[in-house]
Amino acid sequence: MWRAIVNWYREWDAEQLRVLAEPGYAPHTPPGYRRAMATRLARLSDIEREQLREFALKYRGWRMIGAIATFAAMFTLAGAMFHLAVPSIRWVAAIGALNVIGFSTVLAVTTVWFNYRRRSDCSPQRSRGMMLVVIGVSLALVGFLIKFQHLTLNEAFFDTFPGGMLIGAAGAAIFAGIPLRLIVAMRNRQHEARTLQLQQGAERDRLARELSESQLRLLRAQIEPHFLFNTLGAVQQLAEKDAPRAAELTASLITFLRASLSEMRSDQATLKKEFALVEAYLNVMKARLGERLRFTLDLPESLAGLAVPSMIVLTLAENAIKHGIEPSLRGGDVAVRARRRDGVVSIEVEDSGIGLGIAPGVGLGLDNARNRLLLAHGAAASVTLHEAANGVVAEIIIPTETAT
Amino acid sequence: MMTKVLIAEDEPLMRERLLAMLATSWPQAQVVLVAENGNDAWDGFLEHEPEVAFLDIRMPGLSGLEVAERIGKLAHIVFVTAYDQYAVDAFDAGAVDYLLKPVEADRLARAVGRIREKLSARPADLSDIVRHLKSALPGARRENMKWI
């Protein structure tokens, strides 16, 4: 018999812990009270379930019994002191009353502690109404008791068991009812803070991931064979027949690598730095492609200090080369310019390559650039790509109120 | 006896380099055409009928793979590529040779040695390898741009 009870308890305990860990398990529990209980647990919020699970794991088996025994001992001791303070109340009534008060308080606190969301989900009116009822009932009970005690002062009503229970109920109502509302309020605040913390953590993680992704992509772009090996091949050839030009190309490559490494470490860069990076890149490509590439850069001094997501203009320039100029038989021009117009800053990369329609390959990297632009400057910022008179224009728009 | 050779490469410096290195490691090669893009390479091939073609894979116009497909068994083909693991794997499996850019002298000499051995035989059938490469190399596929 005892063994059967222990087994039942263990099984139920394990089942509840599993539901707390994975709420999807609830419908697989045996029907009846066990499923009803599991369903209730599964309906708790993630944070509540996590806390309840921690609590359940901490107070399992003997530790739970130990905790109950400790509470019982404390309440019994308090009851004994109560009897000594008010000798007219008998031992058994005092101890019984204190235990009833104590355990109902513990029970109520525990229930509310892990169920506060449901309680706080009540409408404010209803919640205020319940509070008033609790206060009213408590006051009425106290008044009733005082009056009753006065009337029956010598009849030792409180020595009787029902009398003790009455004190217990009144105590529970006063000492539990009102503080419980406070606990609910406190727990709700905790919950909100924790939710906010989790959200912020998730957002931070996302941003960090995004950043490391763009860093990774950049790293890949630098060690991309078609860029690095072809450039080194060009350096090698120049070194043999035209040493000064080899030195020049090496210098451009160094400038490009150094600038991109420095930009990679920060999320934002000034347009001045960004244009310097793009210039170094285009110089390298010019040395390799020769007559097939011509380019111009135009950055007004007033916009040099504008902060933009790092590498964003470079991404557009790389796309222009890769998808516009390189696949084009006759090559083309690349024009990079920044200007202020209609209350926005516009940064354009225009190429007169093969246009949008027949570009081979699928470009990457721009989604990432766009996300970072939106994060930094809001929904009014944009990256667009459109066909122009003689090629393709990629345009970054930054609203001036967020442009610093 | 001279062997007629075609070179197709879009970057001028790489073109010069391959030309200069080939002159050293294969004096018997007679470069009949240096093409700057795939279209010129194919036109030049029809005109000059070279026995060996060095083709860059990424070129404007027809890609190196597309030119190789058209050449078929009419010439021995050496692909020149900056780096591509797919390509390297495929070439390793196939009869055709490949050169990694920047091209190294001893590697080119080895490739030339192999070509000269094979010159007497019929050129390899590359159609299967080319088909495989065209599906494996994203850059070699023509697609509409999807970057925005």
pLDDT in tens, A245-274: 999 999 999 999 888 888 777 778 999 999
With bands split at pLDDT 50, 70 and 90, how would you rate the model's confidence at A362? Answer: very low
pLDDT at A163 over 70: no
Do β-strands B97-100 and B76-81 pair in parallel, antiparallel, or remain unpaired? Answer: parallel
Report whether pLDDT(B37) > 90.
yes
Given a cut of 50, whether residue A189 has pLDDT beyond it is yes
Q: What is the dihedral of CA A208, A211, A213, A217, to 10 degrees?
A: -160
DSSP state of B29: E
Rg value, chain A, Cα = 37
Residue of B nearest to A383 (CA): B148
**Which single residue is written with the structure tokens 């990774």?**
A216
- For residue B145, what pLDDT is reported? 35
Instruction: Tell me which of A301-315, A332-346, A354-368, B113-127 is least confident.
Output: A354-368
What are the residues facing A335 on neighbouring strands? A296, A350
**% chain A with pLDDT above 90:** 23
pLDDT value, residue B73: 82
- Joined together, the tokens standing for residue A254 give 């160094």
Q: Which residue in the set B39, B101, B143 is minimally distant from A360, CB to CB?
A: B143
Considering only CB atoms, which chain B residues are within 8 Å of A323? 145, 147
- Verify whether the Cβ–Cβ distance A329 to B84 is below 8 Å: no
Q: What's the token pair of residue B106? A: 């001893």
Low-confidence winner among A270-284, A329-343, A348-362, B39-53 (lowest mean pLDDT): A348-362
Measured between CB atoms, which of A240, A360, A362 is closest to B147?
A362
Contacts of A362 in chain B (CB under 8 A): 138, 143, 145-147
Over residues A170-174, the mean pLDDT reads 64
Encode burial over A167-189: b for 16+ CB neighbours within 10 A, e otherwise. bbbbbbbbbbbeebbebbeebee
**Does residue A179 carry a pLDDT above 80?**
no
Show the tokens assigned to B26.
């294969």
Residues of chain B in contact with residue A363, where contact means CB-CB under 8 angstroms, are 145-147
Phi and psi angles of residue B106, each rounded to the nearest 5 degrees, phi first? -70, -30
pLDDT at residue number B87 = 60
Cα–Cα dist A165/A157, whole Å: 11
Which residue of B10, B145, B146 to mutate against A (max A Cβ within 10 Å)? Answer: B145
CB A101 within 8 A of CB A168: yes
Interface of B with A (CB under 8 A): 10-14, 16-17, 20, 37, 39, 58, 60-61, 63, 82-84, 100-103, 138-148
Question: Residue B142's pLDDT is what?
Answer: 36
Count contacts between A and B (CB, < 8 Å). Answer: 100
How much is the pLDDT for B93? 42
Q: Could you tell me the pLDDT band of residue A371, with boundaries at 50, 70 and 90?
A: confident
Would the CB atoms of B147 and A385 count as touching at under 8 Å?
yes
What are the backbone angles phi and psi of residue A48, rounded to the nearest 5°?
-60, -45
d(CA A400, CA B129): 54
Give the DSSP letter string of A200-252.
Answer: HHHHHHHHHHHHHHHHHHHHHHHH-HHHHHHHHHHHHHHHHH-HHHHHHHHHH
pLDDT at residue B146, as a whole number: 34
- Cα B59 from Cα B79, distance rounded (Å): 12
pLDDT, mean over chain B: 80
Name the band, by pLDDT with cuts 50, 70 and 90, for residue A300.
very high
How confident is the model over A112-160, as pLDDT tens digits? 777 666 655 555 666 666 667 766 776 666 666 666 655 554 455 555 6
Return the SS3 of A365: coil
Question: Can you name the residues that pair with A168 across neighbouring β-strands?
Answer: none
Q: Is the pLDDT of residue A401 over 80?
A: no
Query: Across the interface, do A289 and B138 touch by the CB < 8 Å criterion?
Result: no
Mutate to test the interface with B, among A325, A329, A354, A358 (most CBs of B within 10 A): A329
Q: Which helix (H) or strand (E) holds B39?
A: helix B38-48
Token pair for residue B137? 């190399």
A97 confidence band (pLDDT: 50, 70, 90): confident
Mind listing the pLDDT tens digit for each residue in A13-40?
A: 888 888 888 888 888 888 888 888 888 8
Local confidence band at A293 (pLDDT 50, 70, 90 cut-offs): very high
Average pLDDT over residues A337-349: 93
Tell me the mean pLDDT in the region A205-215.
72
Instruction: Output the six-digit token pair for A270.
Output: 């000034």
Helices A178-223 & A225-241 angle (0-180, nearest 10): 30
Whole-angstrom CA distances from A129 to A1, A125, A133, A162 are 47, 6, 6, 29
What mean pLDDT is predicted for residues A167-179? 65
- Residue B141's pLDDT is 39
Q: CA of B18: how far to CAs of A118, A291, B104, B108, B114, in Å?
A: 77, 19, 10, 9, 17
Average pLDDT over residues B124-145: 60
Is A363 within 8 Å of B82 when comparing Cβ atoms?
no
Helix (H) or strand (E) run with residue B12 in it: helix B12-25
**Which has more pLDDT, A176 or A360?**
A176
Q: Taking CB atoms and an 8 Å limit, are A234 and B13 in contact across chains?
A: yes
Assigned token pair, A141: 């009970």
Closest Cβ–Cβ partner in A289, A292, A329 for B61: A329
Task: Using a CB–CB cutoff of 8 Å, tell me whether A223 touches chain B.
Answer: no
Per the model's pLDDT, the better-predicted residue between A305 and B99 turns out to be A305
- CA of B10 vs chain A CAs: smallest distance (Å): 8
Q: Percent of chain A having pLDDT more than 70?
A: 78
What is the model's pLDDT at position A149?
57
pLDDT at A239 (0 to 100):
93
Mutation choice for B interface testing from A237, A321, A325, A351 by most B CBs within 10 A: A237
Q: Return d(Cα B123, Cα B117) in angstroms, integer.
A: 11
- Interchain CB contact of A351 with B (< 8 Å): no
Residue A348 CA to residue A338 CA, distance in Å, equals 6
Report chain A's mean pLDDT, rounded to a whole number: 80
Beta bridge partners of B38: none
